[in-house]
Chains A and B, each alone.
Chain A
């Protein structure tokens, strides 16, 4: 799988909580993806959806997605058009949430410093090679079954196809 887009970088975006990404008041309201985009990251950057429509590789700091297990936190980011998140580190539950809905999250502490807002980012998930502008970086690729999950667009789709 090859992903390509412009970087949407938030400087010093450490410990961004799921309460900020998807406020608790919406957690038990059923919404369709379009409605969800309107509230994505509302408590962190109300202008996020507009930016994500143009820059589709999200770059964040450490421990992104700390807190509640609410899955909409990963979903709203995906629905807003983000193809992948590169961060210094991720909270465990958010990390699994994202993978399981088919949103690649790449933990690469050093890489984050090398990316500027607006850089063209090309990610090859199979090889783990990431191009930032003219520079090439390497991260450990996902295990085979995670790649399979991502190729299917998440766990639900994979279960449906393999049933």
Chain B
């Protein structure tokens, strides 16, 4: 599938290992835009190649916590105005990746590059989403081009359906257990098999989002009716899906029977330090984080509200909730979900992603233990080097905040 996609991008037949120079369909940067502007100016180019293809969303330092953050935002706002960039989404409207997909900035078959490591998430919409860096983004702004190597592919075939209390997050944690944190470095994950059709768009986003955690360059889902339905009303543009050839060859095949999975958890301080939840159940927690580009969507909030179900979170535990976008926040308000979460003692925060990497919002002190629905648990990521982060599904976050210790959410489900 990825070779076909790259052949389309490069307008010639290419195969894994080839290096191509391509023009992306869309590029995204966030609060790092001020840094990209600086590098862009150093190139000597005065105008961006195509303002229509550039999307800028503020989400990492939202609300701005320091004068430096505010200054970065202001520099970017001025640049956006001067460069004629129309697709600018200011602080508070949502997490960049969520905005990109909700607002039709990512379409099937496209090449979408983001100056953020979780840009693999665009694969959920059958697009090739690849993370790039600030210098590369500055280069694209200048010339419209980037060099990329066509990756090898690993096929992740899924069958069956997830049992109650087991979620997309558990599926990916299971993939991390199989592949390790570098098991797919420079590879494309291609999700496939009958199990995919039973996954919601939100669940697909969780899986494609975390593809980068096994080192992958992209994580692509097949196109189906659900993809088309999701895009209905979000875009007027036409698009051309990509599908795998029947004769496609893969470097590696892994198979996952969704119906056999149990809740998983990533233990400190590596994303691939995966255990069965049952092995660490009972570990005390002081902090819960529900949000991020991985798991801050409506079904995640709904699941958490159902588990909390009007009960108060444990004394000594803080729970922070970051709905991933205004759209999600609106639905959550309409359904009474935010109200229910707040009544259980959760702090409802901005549609932003600051806590995940410890720069803005709830940060961890020494000795604190966080149960998090986000994507990384490296030492020091959410604040102190001496804090611990466990990664799990939103259901485990909610259940653990109720009891004050890591808890199987199925204890709170009928």
Contacts and interface: CB of A to CB of B under 8 A. Distances in A.
A67 B38 CA distance: 24
A80 B270 CA distance: 26
Interface residues of B, number: 50
A163 interface: yes
Contacts of A101: 135
Contacts of A91: 182, 185, 215
B61 interface: yes
B42 A160 contact: yes
A98 to B, nearest CB: 10
Interface in A86-105: 89-93, 96-97, 100-101
A163 B61 CA distance: 34
B135 A154 contact: yes
A68 B115 CA distance: 10
B259 interface: no
Interface in A126-151: 143, 145
Nearest to B358: A24
Contacts of B115: 69
A29 interface: yes
B182 A17 contact: no
Most chain A CB within 10 A, of B39, B66, B138, is at B39
B65 to A, nearest CB: 9
A68 B68 CA distance: 21
Interface stretch (B233-241, B343-351, B373-381): B373-381
A15 B270 contact: yes
A127 B378 CA distance: 37
A119 interface: no
Interface in A1-44: 15, 17, 19-20, 23-25, 27-30, 43
A68 B357 contact: yes
A147 to B, nearest CB: 13
Contact of A145 (B39, B131, B147, B182): B147
B135 A156 contact: yes
A56 interface: no
Given A25-B359, A159-B44, A67 B182 contact: no
Main secondary structure of the interface of B (DSSP, over half): loop
Contact of A17 (B31, B359, B379): B379
Contact of A28 (B60, B116, B363): B60
B22 to A, nearest CB: 14
Contacts of A90: 185
Interface residues of A, number: 36
A28 B141 CA distance: 20
A62 B270 CA distance: 14
Nearest to A18: B378
B35 A163 contact: no
B294 interface: no
Interface in A39-67: 43, 62-63, 66-67
A27 B376 CA distance: 16
B43 A156 contact: yes
A156 B139 contact: yes
Interface in B25-68: 31-32, 34-35, 38-39, 42-45, 60-61, 66, 68
Scoring B115, B216, B379 by chain A CB atoms within 10 A of each residue's CB, the highest score goes to B379
Contacts of A29: 66, 68
Contacts of B329: none
B43 A160 contact: yes
B368 to A, nearest CB: 16
A122 interface: no
Contacts of A97: 133, 135
A62 B183 CA distance: 11
Nearest to A43: B380
A71 B38 CA distance: 13
A155 interface: yes
Interface in B208-258: 212, 215-217
B385 interface: yes
B72 A28 contact: yes
A92 B43 contact: no
A43 to B, nearest CB: 4
B111 to A, nearest CB: 16
Contacts of A155: 135-136, 138-139
Contact of B35 (A30, A143, A145): A30
Contacts of B358: 19, 23-25
B282 to A, nearest CB: 27
Enumerate the 7 nearest inter-chain pairs by beta-carbon distance, A residue then B residue, closest first: A24-B357, A17-B378, A63-B182, A69-B117, A159-B43, A19-B378, A24-B358
Given A71-B134, A93-B131, 16 more contacts: A15-B181, A20-B380, A24-B359, A27-B32, A28-B68, A30-B35, A69-B116, A69-B131, A71-B35, A91-B185, A92-B186, A93-B212, A143-B19, A154-B135, A155-B139, A156-B43
8 contacts: A19-B357, A25-B358, A28-B31, A62-B182, A69-B116, A69-B131, A92-B216, A100-B136
Interface of A: 15, 17, 19-20, 23-25, 27-30, 43, 62-63, 66-69, 71, 89-93, 96-97, 100-101, 143, 145, 154-156, 159-160, 163
